[in-house]
Structure formats: C-alpha cells, structure tokens
Amino acid sequence: MANYSDLQIERFYLVIENEGEDVVLIQPLLETDNCVLLMQHDDEDTTFWRKKSDYVFEIVDELNDDQLAEYENLFDDEDELDID
C-alpha cells in the first residue's frame, strides 16, 4: 500500500485516500521531515497536512504535463464564462 511519502512535490495525483471514497485530485505542495502539505483540487481548493507515513488506499494515476494543461484549460475556460 502506498503512503504520502511516495508522492512528489508539485506533481498532481488522482488518489483514493480511504477505501470506499471517491477519487480526488491532490497536489503535494511542501514537505517537512515527517509531514506533507497537500492541496485538494475540487470545487474549492483546500489544503491539509498528512503524515508521510500515513497510508493512501490507492494512487490511481499521476497526471502528466499534457493532462495537467488540459485540466487547467477546462477550468480557465469555465472562469472566463463566469466573468462574461
């Protein structure tokens, strides 16, 4: 089973944190000796800390640069529509 120490800073991951939960998009932002600060990207971006030794039920996927650009374009287009 994976844990949070397996995630690289400034990369984007689709994960299931606990069995039975939905897939979420997270981004590790900062790490200390024992913890990692994560941002969860959803309706409202939220940040939270996890211990590096805490288990992640499943790392479903890591977004590559093209997928990340496509994801960001989806939400940039949506923000432009809100301004109009």
Written as one string, the DSSP assignment of 27-77 is EEEEE-SSEEEEEEESSS-EEEEEETTSEESEEEEE--HHHHHHHHHHHHH
* Nearest to 27, CA basis, from 74, 75, 59, 66: 59
Q: Look at strands 58-62 and 13-16 and give their pairing.
A: antiparallel
pLDDT of residue 80: 53
Chunked into runs of 10 residues, the chain (84 residues) has average pLDDT values of 92 96 96 97 91 96 94 71 51
